[in-house]
Amino acid sequence: MRVSFFLVMGLLILPHPAIANDLVEEKPGARPVRFALMELSPYGFYDEVGAPRGYLYDLANEVLKTADLQGESELFPVKRMVRNVLEGSWDCTFVAATDFVKDNFYLIEKIGKKLEGGIIPKPGITLGGYQSLYKYDIAVPQGMTLTKKFDSDDKLSKVLTEGYQQSIRMLVGNRLEVIAGAIDSLKFTAKQIGIDPNTAFGEPLVVVDFDIWFACSNDNPSAARVQRLRDAVVTLRESGRIKEIIDDYLQP
């Protein structure tokens, strides 16, 4: 599946239209708040027994609990997740501030985490900037896109791999010097295959990063629910709970 790094992120910093209106009471019998989350490790994935997990999936459930609202969360391939929220069949999501959906979603609140894409070297290698990449062979999963400049740069020595696992094994096996991808996904995948990213990876060169935001459909949910959900995100962020949820997936 072709996964665009930019597709997994995207909102313009604008107020949700519902928030501009006076808050209203929820209507009796209103449907549960529905979170659509991207199915991409470590943000959302299914574990070995088929149970949904991931730090954005867990966060959605924590937000619903803190807001004292009935709801449900489900994982979708990235394109379908975007479509579901755009069409209003699902209410809310977590997505980052790129240009991709600037005109289609409304941003509600930062969660205090960035989604970063870049290049991770072996320990001992310092990447001083984009120009330093020309010295190395770079593992790039087939179908992955990072930035327009990186994707179209034919002067870079790119070694196509079947995915993050193969990229990481090639790095650890000294078959190449650097690997490309979403930083969190690379770290999490390393943990999944028994490799400590703190010792196997050097300092990453981040080439693109965007804040992750809580966002909702233009039409749903109600203004009262938006405010309760927003307050819940703020509470969880300021208390450090969001960081705890993320660290459960990213720390060894």
Supply the DSSP string of 209-226, one letter for each residue.
Answer: EEEEEEEE-SS-S-HHHH
Cβ-contact 73, 92 below 8 angstroms: no
Using DSSP, state whether 157 is helix, strand or coil. strand
pLDDT in tens, 20-54: 333 445 555 668 999 999 998 899 999 999 999 99
Does residue 2 fall inside a structural domain? no
107 and 131 in a common domain: no
Range of the domain at 133: 116-208
pLDDT in tens, 120-167: 999 999 999 999 999 999 999 998 888 889 999 999 999 999 999 999
- Estimate to the nearest angstrom the gap between the alpha carbon of 48 and the chain centroid: 21
Does residue 12 fall inside a structural domain? no
- pLDDT of 13 reads 29
Is the pLDDT assigned to residue 14 strictly greater than 60?
no
Residue 93 — pLDDT band, cuts 50, 70, 90?
very high
Q: For the chain, what is the domain count?
A: 2
129 and 111 in a common domain: no
Does residue 9 fall inside a structural domain? no
Neighbours of 110 (CB within 10 A): 18
Q: Is the pTM of this model over 0.85?
A: no
- The reply to whether omega before 221 is within 30° of 0 (cis) is yes
- Structure tokens given for 66: 């803190």
Strands 157-161 and 137-141: parallel
CATH code at 155? 3.40.190.10
Tell the residue number behind the tokens 């094994």, with chain if given: 169
